[in-house]
Amino acid sequence: MKTKISHFEGIRVVEEGREGSTVFVRPLSPKEVDTGETVEYNPEQEQLVLTTPSYAAILQKTPGIPHINDILTYVRVVPDGRDGSTVYCRLLLPNEVDTGLAVQFRPGDTGAFREGNQSFSLDIVDENVAIKFEDGYAYITNTIWTWLYIYPTLSNQILAEDIFPFLLSTARRLDASYKTFSLIQSKLKEWETIEYDIEKRNLGFEIIGLVEIAIVAINRTLQMAWQLHERYSVSVNFPDSVKNKLPALKAMRNAYEHIEDRALGFVNGKPNPDALSIFNCERLFNEGIATYGSYELNIYHETIQLLVETRKYLKETTSELARI
């Protein structure tokens, strides 16, 4: 005698398929619209088997059952048919609406991508591993490390030996620059609220030290990004706003790195009227602008944008140098 059910083992289910006397049921996806569909079967002649849903394919360092300490990244997958016990899945197409459907595995099934249907990209890795911030920046070091780690496996190609460390070092300094400038912004805002002179001076000297470190770091990472453009002849356009800021950052970096000469009024061993200006921090605390001679860097409105634009360039350059 046939009966209709909507739940199995306490789970809302719909029919997934039939094979002989086995009726496979799958959990209703959280994103699916529940139309009230039921599963009809004969309890005396048929058995119900619950399938296992999978919403993502996991890339890991070593084969076998995924472990939390072994995961590189993951990618959203959707059903793409089956052939016997082989269940095909695919990545979402560009601009495809995610309906929430999962790939369903019956006992004994194995998953696979169809030939030529693994449109894996750096953007997917970036979306899954990068820590994002409200001001528009997102860490990029883990994105680039992950992509370059899996690149030889996905492409059957080996990158030039120097590309990995150069890209990774540029990315690491980019993220460190962002972290430091973000800290400076919060410290400057804190400085404005302090009235007690001794406490205010202590914080002020801390801020100056952080600015010195941050300018050295951002100059190096932007210079390395520019070297990528020249060294590897990439077709990605280097941002004009970043390129135009390089002379100022280099001059400010040199002033901080050779602070002993500036303290004596020298630049390159010769007296210079701008030398002592590196010690003038009035605009830093009044406006959030670091200055040296005629050069300046707006901590609030300029640094993050420079880093965001350089990040975009670095990601596109990595995609070009390690293209699948």
What pLDDT is recorded for position 64? Answer: 64
CB 259 within 8 A of CB 277: no
* pLDDT, position 224: 96
pLDDT bin (cut points 50, 70, 90) of residue 235 is: very high
Structure tokens at 60: 């890991």
According to the model, what pLDDT value does residue 66 have? 62
* Region 82-98 average pLDDT: 88
Q: How confident is the model at residue 22 (pLDDT cuts 50, 70, 90)?
A: very high
- Parallel, antiparallel or unpaired: strands 71-83 and 86-91: antiparallel
**Percent of the chain with pLDDT strictly greater than 70:** 97
- Cβ atoms of 177 and 212 within 8 Å: the answer is no
pLDDT band for 163, please (50, 70, 90 cuts). very high
Q: In a 10 Å sphere around its CB, with 0-12 CB exposed, 13-18 middle and 19+ buried, how is residue 102 labelled?
A: buried
Among candidates 129, 154, 138, 124, which has minimal Cα distance to 72? 129
Return the pLDDT at 68: 66
CA atoms within 13 A on the CB side of 264: 9
Has residue 263 got a pLDDT over 70? yes
| H or E element that contains 4 | strand 3-5
In angstroms, the CA 60 to CA 75 distance is: 12
What is residue 69's three-state secondary structure? Answer: coil
pLDDT for 277-321, tens place per residue? 999 999 999 999 999 999 999 999 999 999 999 999 999 999 999
List, in sequence order, every beta strand (DSSP E) within 69-152: 71-83, 86-91, 103-105, 110-113
The answer to whether 91 and 76 are in contact (CB under 8 A) is: yes
β-strand partners of 77: 91
Taken as a whole, the chain contains a residue count of 324
Q: What is the mean pLDDT of residues 5-31?
A: 92
| Exposure b/e, 197-226, CB count within 10 A at least 16 = b | eeebeeebeebbebbbebbbbbbbbbebbb
Which candidate, 281, 123, 260, places its Cα nearest to that of 200? Answer: 281
The answer to which of 65-74, 124-133, 163-172, 207-216 has the lowest mean pLDDT is 65-74
Condensed to tens digits (0 to 9), the pLDDT of residues 310-323 reads 999 999 999 999 98
Contact 246, 223 (CB under 8 A): yes
Query: Using CA atoms, how far apart are residues 192 and 105, in angstroms rounded to an integer?
Result: 59
Residue 31 has pLDDT above 90, yes or no: no
Please provide residue 119's backbone torsions phi and psi, each rounded to the nearest 5 degrees.
-75, 60
Percentage, residues of the chain above pLDDT 90? 74
DSSP state of 132: B
Whether the pLDDT of residue 44 is over 80: the answer is yes
Q: Residue with structure tokens 């990545």?
A: 91
Band of pLDDT at residue 197, cut at 50, 70 and 90: very high
Q: What CA–CA distance (Å, rounded) separates 247 from 101?
A: 52
Residue 153 has pLDDT above 80, yes or no: no
Are the CB atoms for 30 and 100 separated by under 8 Å?
yes
* 135 HSE (CA, 13 A, CB side): 17
Indicate the pTM of the whole model: 0.82
Q: Mean of the per-residue pLDDT values for the chain? A: 92
Q: And the tokens for 5?
A: 């059910």
**Contacts with 155 (C-beta within 8 Å, 6 or more apart), sequence order:** 322, 323, 324
Who's near 56: CB < 8 A, 6+ residues apart?
A: 74, 75, 76, 77
